Amino acid sequence: MRGREADWKKFTKLKKVALERFCEMVLDESRKICDRENTTAYENYSALYKIIRKRDKELGRLFDGHSRSRADLQLLGMYNFELVSEDDLSQFSEETQKFVTWRMEPEPDDS
């Protein structure tokens, strides 16, 4: 987002919303693990520990470091995790939208 001040300002606001969405997603996953039946407390604890560690690494990749040089890739990651909707993305410049959606297009099927 270098040189695109309007996109930078939108990204800064959206990043906070996306972080909240990410945390809600992790808490929902955690509740499902804790509410499982027919598993031991230890099995639930182990599953919860693993998912928290995994999601914590993802959180770091998606949200750590607030800089213009990382903003495009962070937005791409947030979009990939479905933390940013099409409506959210439509607020950005055409250049930024293309950057995100171009990388998310499926590979052509050669069959």
Q: Name the H helices within 2-104.
A: 5-34, 41-63, 68-80, 86-89, 94-104
Q: Which two tokens stand for residue 53?
A: 């560690």
| Side chain identity, residue 20 | E
Q: What share of the chain in percent tops pLDDT 90? A: 86
Decide if pLDDT at 33 tops 70.
yes
Instruction: Determine phi and psi for 19, rounding to 5 degrees.
Output: -60, -45
Q: How confident is the model at residue 104 (pLDDT cuts 50, 70, 90)?
A: low
Q: Domain boundaries in the chain?
A: 5-103
Q: What is the mean pLDDT of the chain?
A: 92
pLDDT band for 102, please (50, 70, 90 cuts): confident
The dihedral region occupied by 93, where left means phi > 0, alpha psi between -120 and 50, and beta the remainder, is beta
Residue 62 CB-density burial (10 A; 0-12 exposed, 13-18 middle, 19+ buried):
buried
Cα–Cα distance, 71 to 50 (Å, whole number): 28
What DSSP character marks residue 81? T
Average pLDDT over residues 55-80: 95
Would the pLDDT of 103 be above 80?
A: no
